[in-house]
Amino acid sequence: MVSSPRTVDEHRAVVAALLDPMPAEEVPVAQARGRVLATDVVAAVALPSFDNSAMDGYAVRAADVAGAPVELPVEADIPAGRTDVPALRPGAAHRIMTGAALPAGADAVVPVERTDGGTERVRISGAAGPGEHVRRAGEDVRVGDVVLRAGAVLGAPQIGVASAVGCATLSVRCRPHVLVLSTGSELVAPGTPLRPGQIYESNGPMLAAAVEDAGGTAELLRFVPDDVEQFLGRLRERTADGAVDLLVTSGGVSAGAYEVVKDALTGRGVEFVKVAMQPGGPQGAGRVAELGGIGVVTLPGNPVSSHVSFEVFVRPALRAALGHPQPDRPAVTATLGERWSSPPGRRQFRRGVLDAVSGTVRELGGPASHLLGALARADCFVVVPEDVTELPEGTRVETWLLDG
């Protein structure tokens, strides 16, 4: 059957629709690193929550030290954390540490370096203007401020500010659980000697790692039988608990005669199509009722096709379900450092290395879909649009940064 191929964008939409937004769960702040925030974090306390000293020194009334040098009696000692801070009498000083609450009546701090450091009386050699070395309550964050937006990825500073406004837990998106399986009777486990015609299974571990990189959790089913009934039985068994959000397969979908994925899932909700792209033409996607209605994405078996298809279709779908405001890889416009040709009617995703200083990109290993060694050294994809067939050196090209 000949039909016009599906566009990359059409298939992206089909795959994206297979995953609903992930529900939220509450996790302790200390376990939230790398997770995606499900709701805004609103400050319940201000930062700072009270006027405090920016220096180790002496809390004073600015007016009392305007005529420095002066000498003042030291009437209290305020370490950080002291909660019963006595008010400051005009004409006196309190010794104060960084972060300690400014006493009522004080409006400036004289750093210890401008004094003799006295504990009974202090000789102050330099003035401090009103507000000097004082951090005002709410100067950083006011009560009710949104300190983190839903969709934020929680790194160290975000965990810091959430802790600082008093969050013990955070509401984050559940991680989508993805079942990864690769098929093919030519696949052999690493560690076993190869016979001619056999290859080591690499798509499974590669795609599982890609799922985890995208923020999901991966479960690898290896060496699923090539027999359709056994294949379906294994999947039914594994998806019965409802814990799987998406099934990603690789292999078994081309025009060949022995294609277990295609044979098992055709007519069961998965539509097998040709997508106008290279590599990665043969794709499939759909929801399978007899597997609890989970989404299934069938990727081609060539390792590079499989990886590229994951990047183009599955990764953005997982990230969108996680609530990332920007599900796609960051893209830049780079300058092609060589001349390329590209087939008409297909969007090409070519593996490259970007020189960040010159902004020039070059291909690694050529466009063929079996060049896994080159893929492992690439740091970007270069996207060649469907209608572009000749790219002279110097062409400005869309470049996806794979480290971003």
Amino acid letter, residue 64? D
Distance (Å, whole) CA 305 – CA 290: 28
Q: How far is the CB of 23 from a second copy (least distance, A)?
A: 24
Q: How far is the CB of 292 from a second copy (least distance, A)?
A: 26
Half-sphere exposure (Cβ direction) of 220: Cα atoms closer than 13 Å? 15
Read off the DSSP letter of residue 36. B
Read off the DSSP letter of residue 136. P
Q: How far is the CB of 11 from a second copy (least distance, A)?
A: 20
The interface with a second copy within residues 151-210 (CB under 8 A) comprises 154-168, 184-187, 189-191, 194-210
Nearer residue to a second copy within complex by CB, 73 or 256:
256
Question: Counting contacts by CB under 8 A, is residue 87 touching a second copy?
Answer: no
One character per residue 45-84, x = contact with a second copy (rule: CB under 8 A): x-xxxx---x-x--------------------x-xxxxx-
Distance (Å, whole) CA 175 – CA 322: 7
Which is it for the CA torsion 382, 319, 369, 353, positive or negative? positive
Question: Counting contacts by CB under 8 A, is residue 120 touching a second copy?
Answer: no
One character per residue 137-156, x = contact with a second copy (rule: CB under 8 A): --xxx---x-xx-----xxx
Question: Counting contacts by CB under 8 A, is residue 98 touching a second copy?
Answer: yes
Question: Counting contacts by CB under 8 A, is residue 344 touching a second copy?
Answer: no
Neighbours of 293 (CB within 10 A): 12
Half-sphere exposure (Cβ direction) of 8: Cα atoms closer than 13 Å? 22
Among 230, 370, 321, 365, CA closest to 36: 321
Half-sphere exposure (Cβ direction) of 79: Cα atoms closer than 13 Å? 1
The interface with a second copy within residues 303-332 (CB under 8 A) comprises 303, 307, 310, 330, 332
Q: How far is the CB of 95 from a second copy (least distance, A)?
A: 7
One character per residue 4-23, x = contact with a second copy (rule: CB under 8 A): --------------------
Question: Counting contacts by CB under 8 A, is residue 1 touching a second copy?
Answer: no
CB 90 within 8 A of CB 72: no
Distance (Å, whole) CA 278 – CA 301: 14
Neighbours of 4 (CB within 10 A): 8
The interface with a second copy within residues 361-400 (CB under 8 A) comprises 365, 368-376, 378
Nearer residue to a second copy within complex by CB, 66 or 150:
150
Question: Counting contacts by CB under 8 A, is residue 42 touching a second copy?
Answer: no
Q: According to CB under 8 A, which one of 86, 91, 129, 256 is a site residue for a second copy?
A: 256
